[in-house]
Structure 1
Amino acid sequence: MKIAVIGGYSPSLINFRGPLLKALVSEGHEVYGIAPLDSQDVPQKLADMGIKFIEAPIQRTGMNPLKDLAALFALVKILKRIKPDTVLSYTIKPVIYGSIAAKLAGVKNIYSMITGLGYAFGQTSGKRGLLFKLVKTMYRVGLSCNNSVMFQNPDDRELFKNIGIIPQNKLTVVTNGSGVDLDHYTSSPVPEGGPVFLCISRLLKEKGVREFAAASVNLKKKYPQAKFRLVGPYDLGPDSLSDALIENWQDNGVQYIGPVEDVREELKNCSVYVLPSYREGTPRSVLEAMATGRPVVTTDATGCRETVIEGRNGFMVPVQDVPALELAMERFILQPDLMQRMGTASLEYIAEKFDVNKVNATIMKAMGL
């Protein structure tokens, strides 16, 4: 079969969908990766995996209707040309416009993966409420074209049904996130010495970066031997954080590293992984930390709560609750034996539920492959 996978950021075809694309190729399918050309080396990397890359003018952020309409027509043209049997889209704009384009192009098998709801679903009233209503309507139109819809956690599936984005009887599947490649992210012992707390995230408010920094600054004053590292890129948009704020964190004991191409070394050098996000699909960085053998502190929020069995491989705290986050992190400083014990439990849980091979098998079955 010919299978087209549509994403909104070309490196994600490798970093997030690479194992799935490889699995599809290994089953003998002809696979196309469709996305904007965000990185010049992506086409060759995909070609080395046996995948054909096609550039599409999809803007990952922004709500320019003319540019989005141009993206829709470009996708229709691409799909009519390659004539895929199946289209799988992920992230908001590819899901909406990719699904509509696939329908217009006469594709019979159309699937979408909801990998997280993002800024538009953070607030349903006021100015952001208008954005929520618009995105809700666009999702409803796009997903009406789908044979079935995949979700990374059960909360998002129930939300989409309860607010009428998809009908109650719509065929849906929960995939346990994107999974993690346990051959690529391998376990390592917790390093000796003072504890190192790590957060890997785009610098956005709703990722909980502010809460991580506030708890870290407080703990640094009490425990100078502890280290607190923040890794990730700035992200432009209404939810972004200022340079001045990040500089203030650095002045008060938070080490800001910036973006890194390969996070494995950072994960191996940390003791505890922290992600106080407001909501996720299933947080990929948490899964990678678990595969490295690290305990997790995260929020009792959609997607995040799927990764932690409370008291077994980590702790969950309420969203935006800095004192609770600080206490959870402090437990590892006061009881350092928890790091290795809970890290071992993370390894057991990741193999049981989030192994990428198991997740890919679920996705391929949902697509009838």
Structure 2
Amino acid sequence: MNKKIAIISNVSGSLVSFRGELIKKWLDLGYEVYTLAPEYKSNHREKLSNWGAKAEKYDLNRSGMNPFKDLKSLINLANKIKEINPDYIFAYTIKPVVFSSLISKQIDLKGMYSLIPGLGYAFNGGGLKNKIVNKIAVLLYNISLKNNDKVFFQNPDDLNLFVDLNLIDQEKTVLVNGSGVDTEEYYNTEPQAEKISFLLMARLLKSKGIIEYIKAAEIMKNKYSEVEFKILGSPGNGPDAVDMDYVDQAAKKDIIDYPGRVNDVKSYIAQSSVYVLPSYYREGTPRSILEALSMGKPIITTDNPGCRETVVDGKNGFMIPIKDYKILADKMEYFIKNKEAIIEMGKESRILAEEKYDVHKVNQKIIENMDL
């Protein structure tokens, strides 16, 4: 009888887009793989089923802080895990990690593994609500993580923070290079050096640097009206959301082009000259940057955890201070004035993607450290 792996997420899309190659690798190795998510879009369920995975649902109050709803989610997940009876659990994002780790103490497992794909809102700083959420998150991680055999981190800042806070022992930590990127699917392209176009892909959150991007674009548009500035992504929600009126007005003034959320970003990346993510969100390693690296685009991003690892400053792009739209505009202007740098830095980005962020190399490290 094949051994079972349960991979637990808070959304079905990430199982396909971010963990798909890992799931397929487990299946190739002969494991029976169960995916657990609160809801499945029909195309996600179909893909997982076609690969050979078994898609299961569980109840999850994804973003709320209601302790009664969370307790109900915990009990529901515990019953589902006991029903599956896995040999290994692999969980990621805060609630699946905390709940699965707590449940793992009550069942017989060969291995409990967690992935911390960035720290997000709970560690993003800010007002009183952020501080309360942070205290709760630290407490829950402290209670739950110590039962893990290994915890995977996507950047050294997050790893070091968890060790410093005594949430996990150093010897149980593993650093991986983000979620990785399929360098064949995100094929190499020649950067567009004639008609200059800048691209940002993210949810429309303030902490993703959307406002700084639009401000820098406005400065550049006043000097170089022919240059394009695109934003792809869904509207945000909550206190960190960018006011959509602000975005719409920028689009009406022809400062930016905002197609919204698109299903296949590859054509947009291919048509762009430079990829920009001025984030100060607590990223793991932004997937959008990895996709742009793989498709041979220079990068402008911030000296921010998860972002800073993707740029060798001056070699495949530029690293800028967070929240500084004027320096962002300066770096944009550098590429506008030095088109040959777009070509040369784009080549370096592709090399970095192949050497450091190839998804198969990332997954191999995870599998080796799971002792499968």
**TM-score w.r.t. length of structure 1:** 0.97
The 3 A distance-change label for structure 1 pair 250 and 38 is farther
Contact 1:124 1:130 in 2 (8 A): no
Per the TM alignment, residue 164 of structure 1 is displaced from its structure 2 partner at its CA by 2.6
Task: State how far apart, in whole Å, the 2-side matches of 1:138 and 1:329 are.
Answer: 42
Give the aligned partner of residue 334 of structure 2: 331
Residues of 2 paired with 1:11 and 1:241: CA distance? 23
Kindly provide the CA deviation profile for residues 93-150 of structure 1, in whole angstroms up to 9, marking residues without a partner as x.
1111122123333334111000010011111763321111111111112212211110
Which residue number corresponds to residue 81 of structure 1? 83
Partners of 1:148 and 1:162 lie apart in 2 by: 17
User: Which residue pairs with 2:295 in the alignment?
Assistant: 292
Give the whole-Å Cα distance in 1 for the aligned partners of 2:83 and 2:359: 32
**2:302 touches 2:322 (CA, 8 Å); kept in 1?**
yes
| Correspondences of 1:1-369 after superposition (within 5 Å) | 1-123=3-125, 126-167=128-169, 169-191=170-192, 193-252=194-253, 253-278=255-280, 279-369=282-372
Q: Please state how far the C-alpha of 1:68 moved relative to its aligned partner.
A: 1.5
Q: In 1, distance between residues paired with 2:193 and 2:362? A: 34
**Unaligned residue ranges in structure 1 (runs of 5+):** none
- For structure 2, which runs of at least 5 residues remain unmatched after alignment? none
* Counterpart amino acid of residue 360 in structure 2: N
What is the rounded CA distance, in whole Å, between the counterparts of 1:277 and 1:191 in structure 2?
24
Please report how far the alpha carbon of residue 71 of structure 1 lies from its aligned counterpart in structure 2 after TM superposition.
1.4
State whether residues 295 and 350 of structure 2, in contact with CA within 8 Å, keep that contact through their aligned partners in structure 1: yes
CA distance in 2, matches of 1:19, 1:286: 18
Say which SS state the counterpart of residue 236 (structure 1) adopts. Answer: coil
Look up the SS of the partner of 1:41 in the other structure: helix
CA offset digits 1:66-110 (Å, max 9, x no partner):
221111111111110111110000111111112212333333411
> Secondary structure of the residue that 2:73 maps to in structure 1?
helix
Tell me, yes or no, if the aligned pair for 2:193 and 2:342 is still in contact at 8 Å.
no
Q: Give distance in 1, aligned partners of 2:40 and 2:51.
A: 18
- In the alignment, the residues of structure 2 paired with residue 64 and residue 195 of structure 1 have an alpha-carbon distance, to the nearest angstrom, of 48
In structure 1, C-alpha distance between the alignment counterparts of 2:327 and 2:192, rounded to whole Å: 25
Per-residue CA distance 1:272-314 (angstroms, 9 max, x = gap): 0000111310011000001001000000110101100111100
- Give the letter aligned to residue 343 of structure 1: G
AA of the residue aligned to 1:231:
L
> Using the alignment, how far apart are the partners of 1:163 and 1:271 within structure 2?
41
Q: Match of 2:147, SS?
A: coil
Tell me the secondary structure at the aligned position of residue 237 of structure 1. Answer: coil
What secondary structure, in the 3-state scheme, does the structure 1 residue paired with 2:284 have?
coil
Match of 2:163, SS? helix
Cα distance in 2 between the residues matched to 1:59 and 1:222: 48
**Is the CA contact (8 Å cut-off) linking 2:193 and 2:340 kept in structure 1?**
no
Secondary structure of residue in 2 paired with 1:214: helix
Matches of 1:37 and 1:128, distance apart in 2: 27
1:333-368 CA-partner distances (Å, limit 9, x unpaired): 010111110000001111111111100000111111
Quick one: structure 1 residues 214 and 349, their matched pair in 2 at CA, closer, same or farther if it must change by over 3 Å?
A: same
* Amino acid across the alignment from 1:165: L
| TM-score (structure 2 length as normaliser) | 0.96
Mapped partners of 1:22, 1:322: distance in 2:
41
Instruction: Please tell me whether the aligned partners of residues 194 and 339 of structure 2 are also in contact (alpha carbons under 8 angstroms).
Output: no
Q: Secondary structure at 2:105's aligned position in 1?
A: helix
Between stretches 188-197 and 253-262, larger displacement belongs to 188-197
Q: C-alpha distance in 1, partners of 2:126/2:111?
A: 32
Amino acid at match of 1:139: Y
The worse-fitting range, judged by mean Cα deviation, of 351-360 and 99-108 is 99-108
Residue identity opposite 1:17 in structure 2? R
Distance in 2 between residues matched to 1:19 and 1:35, nearest whole Å: 17
2:249 is paired with a residue whose SS is: helix
* Offset, 1:192: 5.1
CA distances 1:204-243 after superposition (whole Å, capped 9, x unpaired)? 1111111111111111111101000000001222211122
Matched AA of 1:112: S
Deviation of the 1:261 alpha carbon: 0.7
Question: Structure 1 residues 124 and 229, CA, compared in 2 at 3 Å: closer, same or farther?
Answer: closer
User: Whole-Å Cα distance in 1 between the matches of residues 171 and 136 of structure 2?
Assistant: 21
Q: Distance in 2 between matches of 1:75 and 1:107?
A: 16
Between the aligned partners of 1:175 and 1:27, the Cα distance in structure 2 is: 21
Distance in 2 (CA, whole Å) between partners of 1:155 and 1:216 is 30
Answer yes or no: is the 8 Å Cα contact 1:76–1:105 preserved in 2.
no
